[in-house]
Copies of this chain bind each other. A is one copy, B any other.
Amino acid sequence: MALLVQKFGGTSVGTTERIKAVADKVKRFRDQGDDIVVVVSAMSGETNRLLALSSEVMEEPTAREMDVLLSTGEQVTISLLTMALNQLGCEARSYTGGQVRITTDTSHTKARIKSIDEHNMRADLDAGRVIVVAGFQGVDDKGNITTLGRGGSDTTAVALAAALKADECQIYTDVDGVYTTDPRVVDNARRMEKVTFEEMIEMASLGSKVLQIRAVEFAGKYAVPLRVLSSFKEGPGTLITIEDDGSMEQPAVSGIAFNRDEAKLTLVGVPDIPGIASKILRPISDQNIEVDMIVQNVGLDKKTDFTFTVHRNDYKSAKSVLDKICIDLQAEASAGDNDIAKVSIVGVGMRSHAGVATKMFEVLSHEGINIQMISTSEIKISVVIDEKYLELAVRTLHSAFDLDDAATVKES
């Protein structure tokens, strides 16, 4: 008998048929004696329908009202899933984020969770009820509806699991686990049975898209065992765990992540003086544009080139800010490139293996792929390349680091 938090995403609850299938699955766990808290997203398509409505009435919709609008998506799902559970004779009760009560800060459309009142939930669990909670949403101190940003339902699930000290937080998705890379790009990508939080964070932030990075960080911080598994087929999925089993056989590289969502911006010939980086990035972050990679080379003639990447959606506004900075700082030119991709190799084993970076660069060079930017962390090496080489790079690296399915003897 365990306490499980189970999260079902938009695809898993995309139709009333699928909602009924989720109810079946939840009831099977409940019948085994597990206590269940279910977190659901909006039915797939619903968020986009609501966004389309809002764009018809306002060019840049007010953030507060956007949250009032979008939060209805999950509210529809919680009521329907609770009805479906009731129809199966399974006692259940739905809660909106505000009802739970999940308190957040006031940053509409990207709020952060501050606290969760588990009181109501505990009473329902004690009464044998399944609890169905709307993901993605909360309320601020004044009762204004807030949302956690797209994909925030994962974060809700982990936060509830942490608050309730759940035995496991299960994230049901349309994939059956976390793969060594995207199976759509590499045929023999392999499902991992386990992956560490650190690796998962690097994979998620680099575009593996299975889980929101915030949710993984949250889970790591509160040591919530997190499992990714499929809504549609049975299987153990992938467990994301705090333990690095330290096995000798641990591969140096666990997976290859990649990302087409970034754009590169460069300020050319900027005076190489102390504080110049913040002079460039401050106006960018003032526009709420997030910067990912940053590269600055040692300069000649007291001048340097400064390059960074932003989300592709922010490219236009970042470029216009940069054009202004270019004038203000008397730099030579500002340049930008949308047609880039980032490829990263990730693995906790990398810490103890020398030469991983060298091998990566050699493999790419051997395929004639030019590396435009490099950044590294303890367990990750990322490069920016021309987007057209993305698939080639990922496939070659996947094979070179012995990640292909056939090549694997044991995994963990």
Contacts and interface: CB of A to CB of B under 8 A. Distances in A.
Interface of A: 16-17, 19-20, 23, 50, 53-54, 56-59, 61-62, 64-66, 68-69, 71-72, 75-76, 78-84, 86-87, 93-94, 96, 98-99, 143-145
A241 to B, nearest CB: 35
A41 to B, nearest CB: 14
Given A16-B57, A80-B69, A93 B64 contact: yes
Contacts of A61: 83
Given A57-B19, A58-B86, A96 B79 contact: no
A72 B145 CA distance: 13
Given A57-B84, A58-B86, A79 B68 contact: yes
A75 B16 CA distance: 22
A241 B81 CA distance: 46
Q: Which of A56, A79, A86 has the most B CB atoms < 10 Å from its CB?
A: A79
Most chain B CB within a 10 A radius of its CB, from A65, A72, A99: A65
Residue of A23, A68, A84, A96 ringed by the most chain B CB atoms within 10 A: A68
A94 B78 contact: no
A57 B69 contact: no
Contact of A79 (B54, B75, B80, B86): B54
Contacts of A57: 16, 19-20, 23, 80-81, 83-84, 87
A98 B53 CA distance: 23
Nearest to A101: B143
Given A57-B80, A68-B78, A72-B72, 20 more contacts: A19-B57, A23-B57, A53-B76, A54-B79, A58-B84, A58-B86, A58-B87, A59-B87, A62-B83, A62-B86, A64-B93, A65-B94, A66-B79, A68-B75, A68-B79, A69-B75, A69-B80, A69-B83, A72-B75, A96-B145
A155 to B, nearest CB: 22
> Main SS of chain A's interface residues?
helix
Q: Quick one: copies of this chain in the complex?
A: 2
Given A53-B16, A87-B59, A69 B65 contact: no
15 contacts: A17-B56, A54-B79, A54-B83, A58-B83, A62-B82, A64-B93, A64-B94, A68-B75, A68-B78, A68-B96, A69-B83, A75-B75, A98-B98, A99-B143, A99-B144
A135 to B, nearest CB: 15
A144 B94 CA distance: 10
Contacts of A71: 75
Contacts of A65: 79-80, 82-83, 86, 94
A334 to B, nearest CB: 33
Contacts of A99: 143-145
Nearest to A15: B56
A395 to B, nearest CB: 43
A20 to B, nearest CB: 6
Contact of A69 (B59, B69, B76): B76
Contact of A80 (B19, B54, B80, B84): B54
3 A-B pairs with least C-beta separation:
A69-B79, A16-B56, A72-B72
A16 to B, nearest CB: 4
A68 B53 contact: no
Nearest to A144: B99
Contacts of A83: 54, 57-58, 61-62, 65-66, 69
Contacts of A76: 50, 53, 69, 72
A276 to B, nearest CB: 39
